[in-house]
Structure 1
Amino acid sequence: MIHIDYVTFDCARPYELASFWSEAAGLAFHPETGKDDDEVLLVGKTNLLFIKVPEGKTVKNRVHLDVTGAEGATRDQEVERLLTLGATVQADRRNADGGGWVTMLDPEGNEFCVCRSEAEAKQG
């Protein structure tokens, strides 16, 4: 059995992208992180690592994060909060019955999906 230590993002601006995800996920910067570092680590239940690479993103992600809002937040509330942090909506896949998700892009264009919370899923 393996242990996954980090989910890693290749990016142009590690500190700026990590700042978005820090706010989005409530993760803390590793104490040795500097704003000009080529590698920036956010620590928490899931560690996110941001590494500077020279090439830009050219195709759809083959792996992405599925997220839900903080306890008590609905999917729609979380989408609105993430928009204020700098994310954009790529595709709205919400259904009239309350199911579905919203595919969003972080500030560097990495896809992630906002899903219904566990409480919402139980309701409908």
Structure 2
Amino acid sequence: MTSIIHNITVDARDSYEIATWWSKVLGHPLHPDDNPGDPECLIELPNGIRYLFITVPEDKDKELKNRLHLDLQPSDGTRDEEVERLLAIGATVFDDQRRADGTGWVTMRDPEGNEFCVERSAAERAATS
């Protein structure tokens, strides 16, 4: 017997608010049944990946490093353009690992403090190989 990953679940202070933010990042809408105040909100991508955001009771901000995080790769444009787009919608830079030769990544945080990385696009990788 084996298992499959059904959802990638993210704990949240406000599931609807942070799911709406990630909807902008991923370019896919929330499930049509999701509304403000819902304890769970879902984003389903065409490739079958499901992101489930669940409101959990937490009295303070996250203080520890994520043990699991997402690595984002721009579908068009460059890593640096994607970093700027994400900053404009509310992300913050946590750790900038971009190198002078164009390699590297940027570790960012979403509005609730969850960490994720932005890597180079496929085109950028192909140009340096």
TM-score by length of 1: 0.94
* Equivalent in the alignment of 1:85: 89
Partner of 1:74: 78
Looking at structure 2, the residues matched to 20 and 34 of structure 1 have their Cα atoms a distance apart, in angstroms, of: 14
Cα distance in structure 1, aligned partners of 2:11 and 2:102: 34
Per-residue deviation, residues 1-48 of structure 1 (Å, max 9, x unmatched):
432121111010111100110000012211111111011111113211
Q: RMSD of the alignment, in Å?
A: 1.1
Partner of 2:19: 18
Question: Which letter does structure 2 place at the counterpart of 1:50?
Answer: F
Match of 2:42 in 1: 41
> How much has 1:75 moved relative to structure 2?
0.2
Q: Corresponding residue for 1:27?
A: 28
Task: Verify: 1:96 aligned to 2:107, yes or no.
Answer: no
Query: Which amino acid is 2:21 matched to?
Result: F
Q: Percent identical across equivalent pairs?
A: 51
Matched residues, number: 123
The equivalent position to 1:114 in structure 2, one of 97, 118, 121, is 118
* Distance (Å, rounded) in 2 between the aligned partners of 1:2 and 1:109: 30
- The 2-side partners of 1:75 and 1:3 are apart by 30
Deviations 1:76-101 (A, max 9, x none): 00000001110000011001111000
In 2, distance between residues paired with 1:29 and 1:109? 20
Structure 2 equivalent of residue 51 of structure 1: 54
Structure 1 CA distance for aligned equivalents of residues 4 and 37 of structure 2: 29
Q: Work out the CA distance in 1 between the residues paired with 2:73 and 2:13.
A: 26
* Ranges in structure 2 where 5+ consecutive residues have no aligned partner: none
Greater Cα offset, 40-49 or 102-111: 40-49
Secondary structure of the residue that 1:69 maps to in structure 2? coil
Matching residue's letter, 2:66: N
